A and B are shown apart, each in its own frame.
Chain A
Amino acid sequence: MSHAATHDQHDDHHGAPKSFFQRWCMSTNHKDIGTLYLVFALVMFFIGGSFAMLIRAELFTPGMQLMQPYFFNQLTTMHALVMIFGAIMPAFVGLGNWMIPLMVGAPDMALPRMNNLSFWILPFAFTLLLSTLFMAGGGPAGGWTMYPPLSLQSDSLAYVVFAIHLMGISSIMGAINIIATILNMRAPGMDLLKMPVFVWSWLITAFLLIAVMPVLAGAVTMLLTDKYFGTNFFNPGGGGDPVLFQHIFWFFGHPEVYIMILPAFGIISEIIPTFARKPIFGYKAMVFAIASIAFLSFIVWAHHMFAVGLPMGAEIFFMYATMLIAVPTGVKVFNWVSTMWGGSMTFETPMLFAIAFVILFTIGGFSGLMLALVPADFQYHDTYFVVAHFHYVLVTGALFAIIAATYYWLPKWSGRMYSEFWGKVHFWNSVIWVNVLFFPQHFLGLAGMPRRIPDYNVAFANFNMISSIGGFLFGASQLIFLGVLIHGVWFSKKKATDRVWEGAKGLEWTVPSPAPHHTFEVPPVIHDDELAHGHVND
């Protein structure tokens, strides 16, 4: 297919601004802002990763090794906050910024200036958050869930709350922008049920963000007023209830988990059809499954709180509601496998990460089902089993999908092919060491090792040492990723073709590689046989 999206006859012919400041600080271009988000997420990924290395170093052997317990608590808290709000979420927003307009045939995001503001809030928010580590009282140490009364003991609470408000504002603005873009900027003929699954996943995720970020804002503001303004929302001494915070937090927190995984589902639904050379199996079922998971995410929050002493009826309701999520998730997993079934599969790096995602995310899903069982959760609660579970979901799930997406779309962004050899070296190292890192943590949890502790019983020594070795090597493997990225963006001699991958379908592959600064200023014509999911209505 020729370059449907270049606009040679268009008179608005300008490229990217020449000055660095103009281009990167004042940009309203969705591709440049997408790049900014992705670079920011990468930096945060390495900062959060370095915290994880310190945590695993401390846990390498029993006894106190490197740091005081209070600093260990700061590390676990900051690791989570940085990875969730600084790495995973901005990475998905970056991918959405880059790809959504290209996938729906839009010239840019609906609100380009707000897009710039949404991004530039983040560096200030995270500078504020990270600066607390250097303050006299240290950073937040009550865990990312910020349960009172523990979180109220931190001197940096006000800074953290302000940083969270900034992140929330950024996320809400980003979500509004994405919804407005998808609903209004699609090329004529790109009906809702012709949109790529990635675009659908982001549309639903954006609604989740709008629904829950204000709830988080309310929860942290109540913490702030409890500490500094004499209120007693969570203080039993004044008639408050700390469990109230847990309810409010997890009403935000559980949908937040899906905010971090639904775009990953969308990414995998783009990659697998490309390398299986088949349209996605059950396109509509995939879209409805994402919507169902999003709906269910609002009625399962108390499964994080089984151990606080909920009424039996509530525990049973939340247990069954949580188990129900396995149904739409199972639909997705079976559809990915069915897409691969009988396909002419090849195993380039994005596909390897996508297949690893399907297998390893499913392991995380199964351990999630185990945690959903009320009687079993009483044993697993607050142990390393939970740590193993959510790292399977977020590292081999969300992070692997982000890495897969980066390999998949990098040639379109940079115009150069990355090194397939080093990509595969990165993949095999990642997939081996991530399992060495997190799988033993299931056993530690089942044996009773509590999470968020800097020291532990000698009975847990062997699995902790194995886990730490896996952690160091998984961390080191990501330096290969950095090398592949630097080579693929600036130094690779191999130019990418427009379509890049033989089986790739969708509008984004009809523009040249690298994608021009402006695309689809004239809407493209939508041909059904050029869509990744084929003729949906046949």
Chain B
Amino acid sequence: MAQPKMQQAVTDQFDADRRKGVRRTVTILVVIVAAFFLVSFVQIMLMK
């Protein structure tokens, strides 16, 4: 009986998609974090 397939073929497209996904996720998260920080500090300045 043949062994089940253990590895998947990797294409350049797969790698490129991964990289694009990471860039997009990081951009969104960094914007969220920066917005949180900004709002906090703007609030501090306004309350002062």
Q: Which residues of A contact B (CB under 8 A)?
A: 1-4, 7, 110-111, 172, 175-176, 179-180, 183-185, 187-189, 210-211, 214-215, 217-218, 221-222, 225, 231, 233, 522-525, 527
* Chain B: CB-nearest residue to A244: B47
A172, A231, A523: the one contacting B8 at CB < 8 Å is A523
A188, A215, A222, A525: the one contacting B5 at CB < 8 Å is A525
A218 and B42 CA atoms in complex are apart in Å by 10
A222 and B44 CA atoms in complex are apart in Å by 7
The reply to whether A218 and B44 form a contact with Cβ atoms under 8 Å apart is yes
The reply to whether B25 and A184 form a contact with Cβ atoms under 8 Å apart is yes
The reply to whether B44 and A525 form a contact with Cβ atoms under 8 Å apart is no
Interface members, chain B 1-48 (any A CB < 8 Å): 3-8, 10, 14, 18, 21-22, 25-26, 29-30, 32-33, 36-37, 40-41, 43-44, 47-48
Q: Provided the pairs A183-B21, A214-B36 are in contact, do residues A527 and B10 lie with their beta carbons within 8 angstroms?
A: no
The reply to whether B7 and A176 form a contact with Cβ atoms under 8 Å apart is no
Q: Which residues of B contact A188 (CB under 8 A)?
A: 8, 14
The reply to whether A522 and B3 form a contact with Cβ atoms under 8 Å apart is no
* Chain B: CB-nearest residue to A240: B47
* Chain A: CB-nearest residue to B35: A214
Q: Which residues of A contact B14 (CB under 8 A)?
A: 188
* Chain B: CB-nearest residue to A172: B33
The reply to whether A214 and B37 form a contact with Cβ atoms under 8 Å apart is yes
Q: Which residues of A contact B10 (CB under 8 A)?
A: 522-523
A2, A180, A222, A524: the one contacting B25 at CB < 8 Å is A180
Q: Which residues of A contact B32 (CB under 8 A)?
A: 210
* Chain A: CB-nearest residue to B8: A523
10 smallest beta-carbon distances between A and B, as pairs: A218-B40, A184-B21, A214-B36, A4-B6, A180-B25, A110-B22, A522-B7, A523-B8, A176-B29, A184-B22
Q: Which residues of B contact A (CB under 8 A)?
A: 3-8, 10, 14, 18, 21-22, 25-26, 29-30, 32-33, 36-37, 40-41, 43-44, 47-48
A175 and B37 CA atoms in complex are apart in Å by 16
Q: Which residues of B contact A217 (CB under 8 A)?
A: 37, 40
* Chain A: CB-nearest residue to B14: A188
Q: Which residues of A contact B44 (CB under 8 A)?
A: 218, 221-222, 225, 233
Q: Provided the pairs A523-B7, A523-B10 are in contact, do residues A218 and B25 lie with their beta carbons within 8 angstroms?
A: no
* Chain A: CB-nearest residue to B26: A180
The reply to whether B29 and A221 form a contact with Cβ atoms under 8 Å apart is no
Q: Provided the pairs A184-B22, A185-B22, A233-B47 are in contact, do residues A527 and B4 lie with their beta carbons within 8 angstroms?
A: yes
A218 and B6 CA atoms in complex are apart in Å by 49
A188 and B26 CA atoms in complex are apart in Å by 20
A217 and B34 CA atoms in complex are apart in Å by 12
24 contacts between A and B (CB under 8 A): A2-B3, A3-B6, A110-B22, A111-B22, A111-B26, A179-B25, A180-B22, A184-B22, A185-B22, A210-B33, A214-B33, A215-B40, A218-B44, A221-B40, A221-B44, A225-B44, A233-B44, A233-B48, A522-B8, A522-B10, A523-B8, A524-B7, A525-B4, A527-B4
Q: Which residues of A contact B37 (CB under 8 A)?
A: 214, 217-218
How many whole Å from B24's CB to the nearest CB in chain A?
8
How many whole Å from B9's CB to the nearest CB in chain A?
8
Task: Tell me which of B6, B30, B47 has the highest count of chain A C-beta atoms within 10 A of its own C-beta.
Answer: B6
* Chain B: CB-nearest residue to A521: B10
Task: Tell me which of B29, B43, B44 has the highest count of chain A C-beta atoms within 10 A of its own C-beta.
Answer: B29
A1 and B10 CA atoms in complex are apart in Å by 22
Q: Provided the pairs A214-B37, A218-B43 are in contact, do residues A183 and B25 lie with their beta carbons within 8 angstroms?
A: yes
Q: Which residues of A contact B25 (CB under 8 A)?
A: 110, 176, 179-180, 183-184
* Chain B: CB-nearest residue to A188: B8
A233 and B14 CA atoms in complex are apart in Å by 52
B7, B47, B48: the one contacting A4 at CB < 8 Å is B7
17 A-B pairs besides A188-B14, A525-B4 with CB distance below 8 A are A2-B3, A110-B25, A111-B22, A175-B29, A179-B25, A180-B26, A184-B21, A185-B18, A210-B36, A215-B36, A215-B40, A217-B40, A218-B37, A231-B48, A522-B7, A522-B10, A525-B8
How many whole Å from B33's CB to the nearest CB in chain A?
6
How many whole Å from A1's CB to the nearest CB in chain B?
8
Q: Which residues of B contact A176 (CB under 8 A)?
A: 25-26, 29-30, 33
How many whole Å from B6's CB to the nearest CB in chain A?
4
The reply to whether A211 and B36 form a contact with Cβ atoms under 8 Å apart is yes
A211 and B33 CA atoms in complex are apart in Å by 7
* Chain A: CB-nearest residue to B6: A4
How many whole Å from A135's CB to the nearest CB in chain B?
27
The reply to whether B8 and A184 form a contact with Cβ atoms under 8 Å apart is no
The reply to whether A179 and B29 form a contact with Cβ atoms under 8 Å apart is yes
Q: Which residues of A contact B4 (CB under 8 A)?
A: 525, 527
A318 and B36 CA atoms in complex are apart in Å by 24
Q: Which residues of A contact B36 (CB under 8 A)?
A: 210-211, 214-215
Q: Which residues of B contact A210 (CB under 8 A)?
A: 29, 32-33, 36
